[in-house]
Every structure is written in C-alpha cells, then in structure tokens.
C-alpha cells in the first residue's frame, strides 16, 4: 500500500494528481492545501486536510498523523513576477517550506518528490539534460535552485522532477492557460502579441501528474525532466491553437521578449531532453496538439 500526501492540492498539478491517484487500487491519498478544499464538489470522496507548508509545526503534525510513504510537493509561489516583488514571501514558500518538509520526511522516513522548473537555467543552451548546471536569471529560478540544494543534501529518499510551462484546466479558479487565452482572444476578434524568441517544451498538467505517479511507482531517485517533447515558441503554440479551433490566425502578431515590460527576466531557450524519464520511468507525454484537444474537451460546452 502506497500512502501519498499531496501538497498544494488546490493548484493545477495538485488537482490533476488527486484525480489520477484517488481511483487507484492499493493507494491511499491525502490531499493538503492552504484554505478550503477546491475539489470538494468534483471529488467528494477525496480525503483532505488543510495544511500550510510554511508552518513547520503543522507540517510535522499532518505527516506524523497520516504517516505517508511518499510525499509529492507541488505547492510553490510560481508567479515569476510576484517572486521578484515579494522576495521574502518567495523564499518562505519556495525554500523554507521545503526545509520543513525535508525535516518531517527525514523524521518519519517519507520518500519526497519535489517539483522543480526549467527556470533554474539561464536559457543560453536549452533544451537541457538532468546534468546541466543551474544558473537562474530571475529570483523565482533562484528560490527553486536553492530548494533543489536543500533536497539534494537531505537524508530522506528523494526525486526532483523538473518541468516546463505547465498548462491545463483547473477547477474553481479564474486561472487561464495559453490554450484558452489564445482561443478566447481570437474568438472575440482581439489582436494578441505572442513571443517568437522564447523556446519551451510545454507540459500538459495530466502528463506531469503521470510523471509524478511513475516516480512513486518506480521509487525513482535523483533528478528527472518531466515535460512535453516538442520545442516550441509561444507563437508556434498560438498557431496550433488557432488551427485546432479553426480560428483566424491573422490576429496573432509576432513579438519578441523585449517588447514586454515584466518585473522578472525570462530565460530565452529552455526546454528539456526527456529521454531519461522515457527510458527509466516509461514516461510518454502527449503532443501539444493532443494537449489542446484534452483542454478543449474539458472546457467546450
């Protein structure tokens, strides 16, 4: 029996993990998040407990009571510009919380799976392998790099799963994603500017959840890249969305990153080589077009 505790279960990845793991045989799940359970209507049988990962006493108590075999840590401050303006908050949620989880996992012999990001890299020579050297260009990336160092020096079993530009449909939030943003903008005849000089391997949230489960299933240790397999610019993605929904792509304007005034720098060319996860875990992501189809199926009337 695998007992899996999820942090950040109200977020996009946390929700997809709960949906994936709850029906599995020989798996017990405890979803945790700050505040109320946003999946209560959708998954009424999901065990849920409110837990603030920045509260070390609460973290220790929940882990002591549930005694998970595995903990999948998805909670984080992921708004890149917010991390730049609220550095104290970013360090608290992205680094201090990781230390509290590591402390509890060491004490109760829990295997920790931590979700990290392509933003630990500078974007000079992507796509990256697991061995590439971190060199973040913004504070979000720096907090995630520091979190990785905390985990690498821990005494519990661990895996770090790095991912890229996660998209999908989330319950009970106003949050959008690149597929819905492009679709809805073009449907309303709105001109959108989309960058042509940033490269990513976009990741369907369901694929990232599956990567987390495969790591649990195989008790995989070390670092794994879990993303899509196609290196695309946001402009490429927007064209695919327009084609899928049969919308006019003349409303999509090319732009380069310098035309956007954002608090945090973005690495230009990241993306991942996912061959290690494919070979060792059997990870097989959807294509971006298949991802669009899945998102459409969850949002179209």
CATH value at residue 96: 3.40.50.720
The structural domain count of the chain equals 1
Residue with tokens 């020096």: 153
d(CA 173, CA 181): 15
d(CA 112, CA 219): 10
**12 found inside a domain:** yes
**52 found inside a domain:** yes
pLDDT tens for the chain, residues 1 to 301: 999 999 999 999 999 999 999 999 999 999 999 999 999 999 999 999 999 999 999 999 999 999 999 999 999 999 999 999 999 999 999 999 999 999 999 999 999 999 999 999 999 999 999 999 999 999 999 999 999 999 999 999 999 999 999 999 998 766 778 999 999 999 999 999 999 999 999 999 999 999 999 999 999 999 999 999 999 999 999 999 999 999 999 999 999 988 888 889 999 999 999 999 999 999 999 999 999 999 999 987 5
Please give the model's pTM, rounded to 2 decimal places: 0.97
pLDDT at 259: 85
**7 found inside a domain:** yes
Cβ-based burial of 135 (10 A; exposed 0-12, middle 13-18, buried ≥19): middle
**22 found inside a domain:** yes
**133 found inside a domain:** yes
pLDDT at 172: 75
**68 found inside a domain:** yes
pLDDT at 79: 95
pLDDT at 260: 83
pLDDT at 298: 92
**216 found inside a domain:** yes
**190 found inside a domain:** no
Is the four-CA dihedral 80, 38, 70, 279 of positive or negative sign?
negative
Mapped to the 3 state alphabet, what secondary structure does the chain carry? CEEEEEECCCCHHHHHHHHHHCCCCCEEEEEEECCCCCCCCCCCCCCEEECCCCCHHHHHHHHHHHCCCEEEECCCCCCHHHHHHCHHHHHHHHHHHHHHHHHHHHHHCCEEEEEEEHHHCCCCCCCECCCCCCCCCCHHHHHHHHHHHHHHCCCCCEEEEEECCEECCCCCCCCCCHHHHHHHHHHCCCCEEEECCCEECCEEHHHHHHHHHHHHHCCCCEEEECCCCCCECHHHHHHHHHHHCCCCHHHEEEECHHHCCCCCCCCCECCECCHHHHHHHCCCCCCHHHHHHHHHHHHCC
Instruction: Give me the domain span that covers residue 129.
Output: 2-169+203-229+267-286
């Amino acid at each position: 029996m695998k007992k899996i505790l999820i942090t950040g279960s109200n977020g996009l990845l946390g929700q997809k993990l709960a949906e994936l793991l709850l029906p599995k045989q020989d798996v017990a799940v405890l979803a945790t998040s700050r505040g109320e359970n946003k999946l209560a209507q959708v998954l009424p049988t999901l065990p849920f407990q409110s837990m603030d990962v920045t509260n070390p006493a609460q973290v220790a108590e929940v882990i002591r009571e549930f005694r998970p075999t595995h903990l999948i840590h998805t909670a984080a401050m992921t708004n890149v510009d917010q991390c730049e303006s609220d550095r104290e908050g970013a360090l608290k949620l992205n680094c201090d919380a990781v230390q509290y989880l590591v402390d509890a996992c060491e004490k109760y012999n829990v295997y920790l799976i931590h979700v990290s990001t392509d933003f630990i890299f500078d974007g000079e020579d992507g796509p990256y392998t697991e061995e590439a050297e971190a060199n973040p260009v913004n504070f979000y990336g720096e907090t995630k790099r520091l979190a990785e160092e905390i985990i690498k020096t821990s005494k519990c079993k661990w895996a770090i799963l790095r991912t890229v530009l996660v998209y999908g449909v989330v319950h009970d939030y106003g949050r959008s994603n690149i597929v819905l943003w492009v679709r809805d903008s073009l449907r309303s005849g709105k001109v959108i500017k989309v960058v042509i000089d940033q490269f990513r391997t976009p990741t369907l949230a369901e694929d990232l959840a599956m990567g987390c489960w495969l790591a649990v299933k195989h008790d995989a240790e070390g670092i794994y890249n879990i993303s899509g397999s196609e290196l695309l610019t946001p402009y490429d993605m927007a064209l695919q969305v327009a084609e899928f929904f049969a919308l006019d792509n003349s409303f999509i304007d090319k732009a380069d990153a310098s035309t956007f005034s954002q608090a945090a720098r973005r690495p230009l060319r990241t993306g991942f080589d996912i061959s290690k996860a494919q070979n060792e875990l059997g990870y097989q992501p959807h294509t971006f077009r298949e991802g669009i189809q899945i998102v459409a199926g969850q949002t179209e009337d």
